[in-house]
Chains A and B, each alone.
Chain A
Amino acid sequence: MRRMLLMGNEAIALGALRAGVTVAAGYPGTPSSEVLETLVKERRDGVYVEWSVNEKSAMEVGAGAAMSGARVLVTMKQVGLNVASDPLMSLNYVGVKGGMVVMVADDPGPISSQTEQDTRCFGRYAKLAVFDPSTAEEAYVMIADAFACSERIGRPVLFRPTTRVCHSYATVTLMEDRDVPRAEGFSKDGGRWVIFPRLAYANHIKIEETLKSLADEFSDYPGNILSGSGRLGIASGGVSWCYVQEAFRGVGEEHRLLKVSTLPFPVRLGEEFLRGLDEVLVVEELDPVIERELIFLSGVLGLNITVRGKLSGDMPNAGENTPDYVRDAIRKFLGTSGDHAVTSSKSAAEPVPPALPVRPPTLCAGCPHRASFFAVKEAAAGHKAVFSGDIGCYTLGNALPLDMVDTCLCMGAGITVAQGINRVEPDTANFAFIGDSTFFHTGIPGVINAVYNGADIIVAVLDNSTTAMTGGQPHPGTGRSISGAPARRVSVSRVLSAIGVDDIQRVNPFDLPSAKAAVTRALAGRGVRAILFEGECVAVSRKHENRCEVDEKICIGCSVCVKRLGCPALSIREKKAVIDQSSCTGCGLCKYVCPVRAITGGEAA
């Protein structure tokens, strides 16, 4: 048996391969992206993997493959599930033939997301079973159980890790592949795959029956664990379970513990846990799912038990849990304050730390987005203008000193939000910034909407030839597939042109005079205009040639370069500008802003 050090997402991918997955699709999104990347790296024969254009497409590709009997994995982050919810809601009614696991990574905190939504609640809403692993090694085993469950009940199931499972790592012992028969292929089955009201009614009844029997079966599922004794109980799930374990490590005390790893809630096990208890503390992240189940079950059973958690105000209702917080909450609950309560007030003798820098995420040195934002900022100065943004690295353009993102809602929304603002304030220049991957994901319908309804907006496509924020995944505009093989390239400008955008300009953002001229020209026009800012992502190209340097004799230390660009390579030391040679890419943007031309080198743009 091979032991490997695996990241949670790697364990999920290897677990899916062990379970016989042959079709996998998804859209990148932190913290889910490494699952498909690992599947591709493994290069197993007969396993098809794709980055789909968006999560809805991924879900539908998966649906077709699962209808044809293949074992299918679909991956996304929690907000991606919002995009894919339409096909998933209906697919549960239609059902699948091959096991289909929809891996949705939640992000308590949130660390890299717009929302703190809880996919377990989506599971309840969509009437789907949910598997909720606590660790990388549990995820490796559990995903095979999820495939088996899905295939047995003939419906898709959700698999919901969180960031601290996806991006934690652990020693995992790999097991032998499961024996999975080949996919039979698509069979028409007399209309089984066509959703109609009558079929929906009949299948709704079956779904409810299935959920009821799963609630019973899951009481025997090895991932749901009941242990200990006493009159005080602690219930938990997900990574919080690990923090609960940590709190009890080395402590001799025995208490009743319940780990819940599935939905439907394991009712029989829950009853066994509750009977004989006076009080329960529920430790979970995001929504109070286990807490509500236990309160509900206490009510059904007529038990007089106090359930403490988020609803009672005993646990925080937003943000992620930490081992320290959980330990302190447990000690408080058990009435044992412990020997070194961490959150207690510090002794007066302890030294006070000096002021430390706040470090918001920043656009990289040499990022083409900085140049694009700067060009628009310069050219639009003096105009009444609103800058709608979108999801990606370029959301970071909201930070000072650029301050060029006024709205950010969800994938693809910038283009349409700009139209709405423009309807209320027609005298405003409305810019919509959108990245190349986001443009293909959900940007295109918004442009069609603008052309069709005669909107007055400037679409600024920030094309850096990659999906940068999530780690540089290819997309339809890159001409590469997930495996790096050549793929048909879909051209952003030809798509815009086909939609009916007549005014399209393509510029190199690092050629600041030309970029500014393009913006000035667009500002003078009306209707739907587009500017394509084309500059490769520096994190992908890793170009560090011909770096810029400051001539100390000329530099007057005015710090204009630092204050206007916010480039991490630029700083002021001893009243002179300094360019960090290890991070400068030689983009040359600072040369344009220096009032005394003290900066040399860089690309000859």
Chain B
Amino acid sequence: MTDCLIVGVGGQGTVLTSRLIGIAALKRGFDVRGSETIGMAQRGGSVASHVRIGRDISSPLIPRLGADVILAFELCEAARAVPYLKPDGLMIACDVIVRPAGSSEMFGIDAVSRYLRSSLAHIRLLDGEKIRERCGARGMNVAILGAALSSGSLPLSMEDIEEALDDRFDVARAEANKAALRFGARMIADAGLKSED
């Protein structure tokens, strides 16, 4: 059984990411259950998608201390999600900060990163600027999904997700997403998962 929590800010693609995992897991023969944030809260609010893979799961929401893996597309949302990670779970977070509209307050990447590193045993922070350069702002979600696959924290292979992308998108968009997926996977593989654990 694998519980995966995906957090971010409305518009970052949490719903799409959870659907890709769900579709791929279903194809692999797993049972899937989950929940998404849809509606008013999507307009720039904090959003979370819960994906639960395995049999005999009743709740669509992952309880606190229950997530095996957390994918965070935004650093402050990563900090908010800390109570949900299992003690031996893995968080993969992108180090970008999205400030609320009209806010002039600064939320420092360093302070939030420090908090994450000190609270979690297993955390990988990915360079958001680098991802944005290579994959565009819209490729961020799939790149982080690639990183999660590469870390082995989901019971799915790269090919499983690539197939789901083919099902979902036209050739051009599927290929762009696959490139982002592979880029994210390489970010984890190159650095070596152990180095920062």
Q: Which of B61-69, B121-129, B171-179, B184-192 contacts A (4 or more CB under 8 A)?
A: B61-69
Q: Is the CB of B44 within 8 A of A361?
A: yes
- With contacts A5-B23, A171-B33, A361-B44 taken as known, whether A563 is within 8 angstroms of B102 at the C-beta atoms is yes
- Expressed in whole angstroms, the minimum distance between the Cβ of A590 and any Cβ of chain B is 12
B59: chain A residues within 8 A (beta carbon)? 239, 242-243, 245-246, 323
**Alpha-carbon distance A327/B66, docked complex (angstroms):** 13
Q: Is A340 an interface residue (CB 8 A)?
A: yes
Q: Is A357 an interface residue (CB 8 A)?
A: yes
0/1 per residue, A325-340, Cβ < 8 Å to B? 0010000000000001
B56: chain A residues within 8 A (beta carbon)? 249
B41: chain A residues within 8 A (beta carbon)? 111-112, 361
**Whose C-beta in chain A lies nearest to the C-beta of B11?**
A583
Q: Is A189 an interface residue (CB 8 A)?
A: no
Q: Is the CB of B79 within 8 A of A353?
A: yes
- With contacts A31-B39, A360-B45, A361-B44 taken as known, whether A135 is within 8 angstroms of B60 at the C-beta atoms is yes
Cβ-defined partner of B31 (8 Å) among A7, A171, A342: A171
- Expressed in whole angstroms, the minimum distance between the Cβ of B47 and any Cβ of chain A is 9
Cβ-defined partner of B64 (8 Å) among A4, A342, A358, A583: A342
0/1 per residue, B74-99, Cβ < 8 Å to A? 00100110110000000000000001
Q: How many residues of B are counted as interface, with CB atoms below 8 angstroms from the partner's CB atoms?
A: 56
Chain A interface mostly? loop
Q: Which of B104-122 contact A (CB under 8 A)?
A: 104-105, 107-108, 111-112, 115, 118-119
Q: Is A451 an interface residue (CB 8 A)?
A: no
Q: Is B146 an interface residue (CB 8 A)?
A: no
Q: How many residues of A are counted as interface, with CB atoms below 8 angstroms from the partner's CB atoms?
A: 61
Q: Is the CB of A167 within 8 A of B65?
A: no
A358: chain B residues within 8 A (beta carbon)? 100
Q: Which of A331-379 contact B (CB under 8 A)?
A: 340, 342, 350-364
Q: Is B137 an interface residue (CB 8 A)?
A: yes
- Expressed in whole angstroms, the minimum distance between the Cβ of A331 and any Cβ of chain B is 13
- Expressed in whole angstroms, the minimum distance between the Cβ of B100 and any Cβ of chain A is 5
Q: Is the CB of A393 within 8 A of B39?
A: no
- Expressed in whole angstroms, the minimum distance between the Cβ of B18 and any Cβ of chain A is 8
Q: Is the CB of B100 within 8 A of A357?
A: yes
- Expressed in whole angstroms, the minimum distance between the Cβ of B10 and any Cβ of chain A is 8
**Whose C-beta in chain A lies nearest to the C-beta of B24?**
A5
Cβ-defined partner of B137 (8 Å) among A249, A363, A582: A582
- Expressed in whole angstroms, the minimum distance between the Cβ of B89 and any Cβ of chain A is 14
**Alpha-carbon distance A562/B137, docked complex (angstroms):** 22
B32: chain A residues within 8 A (beta carbon)? 5, 169-171
- Expressed in whole angstroms, the minimum distance between the Cβ of B165 and any Cβ of chain A is 15
Q: Is A438 an interface residue (CB 8 A)?
A: no
Q: Is A529 an interface residue (CB 8 A)?
A: no
- With contacts A169-B35, A245-B58 taken as known, whether A351 is within 8 angstroms of B46 at the C-beta atoms is no
Interfacial residues, chain B to chain A (CB-CB below 8 A) = 9-11, 19, 22-23, 26, 30-46, 56-65, 76, 79-80, 82-83, 99-105, 107-108, 111-112, 115, 118-119, 136-138
Known: A243-B58, A342-B65. 17 other contacts (CB 8 A): A5-B19, A31-B38, A111-B40, A167-B35, A168-B33, A168-B36, A170-B31, A170-B60, A171-B30, A171-B33, A246-B58, A353-B115, A354-B107, A356-B112, A357-B100, A361-B41, A568-B101
12 A-B contacts (beta carbon < 8 Å): A30-B39, A31-B38, A168-B34, A168-B35, A168-B60, A342-B83, A351-B115, A359-B46, A361-B40, A361-B44, A364-B43, A470-B39
Interfacial residues, chain A to chain B (CB-CB below 8 A) = 3-5, 7, 30-31, 111-112, 135, 164, 167-171, 239, 241-243, 245-246, 249, 322-324, 327, 340, 342, 350-364, 393, 396, 400-401, 469-470, 559, 562-563, 565-568, 570-572, 582-583
